[in-house]
Amino acid sequence: MFNNRSACTLGVCSVFILVLLAVVLHGRNSRVYAPQAPVFTVDSPEKTLALWKEKKLKGRILLLFDNYPHLRGRYTYYSGSYRPTSTNFIELALFENIIREIYYIVPDYMWEQFRTNEMVHPLRAVPGLERGLFLYSINGLTIIATTPTSLPQLPEQVLVYVNGSMYKVKDARDLLAQKNITSDIFVTYQGPR
């Protein structure tokens, strides 16, 4: 009797490990990266979505150096208007499966102001980050607000979007170099919001 239970337990554990391994490998293999590391400058934020779609990117992490919030919820598209704008292009990238997670970068000196802002709906603190909050997202996307000093090293190449009217592109590049984070697509928007 004991041998049968042990064999069943071993079989179930083996199947579980194989399924888990398949899910992890499938997730990594379904991500699509750009072949080079170009820097693109766009004259309107919504052109970023067209660029990402042209490169056929999928399942990516985005470092967002811009305003908050971008995500307003699918209900804004029930009318059939699916046209990218400067305030919804990130949300549309989510719907297209281009983005799976966002690190929203808040300057260190603005952290307390951001944290107490009525527009911010934090769910909870991010374990292991001195300054990190999981933010509420109607669409189920993982959004982590953090500061440059608290940004963790990320295990894969990331997409970067920098609103040049709010952040210095050099500061974003320096942050990537300091944290040893690589990016295959770095987009900057230079112009008034």
pLDDT digits (tens, 9 = 90+) for 142-176: 899 999 999 999 989 999 999 998 899 999 999 99
- Whether the pLDDT of residue 121 is over 60: the answer is yes
Helix runs in the chain, H state only: 2-29, 47-54, 89-95, 111-115, 169-179
**Whole-number Å distance between alpha carbons of 43 and 48:** 9
**pLDDT tens profile 8-35:** 677 666 666 656 655 555 555 555 554 4
pLDDT at 34: 45
**Whole-number Å distance between alpha carbons of 187 and 41:** 6
- Its pTM stands at 0.76
Structure tokens at 159: 């997409």
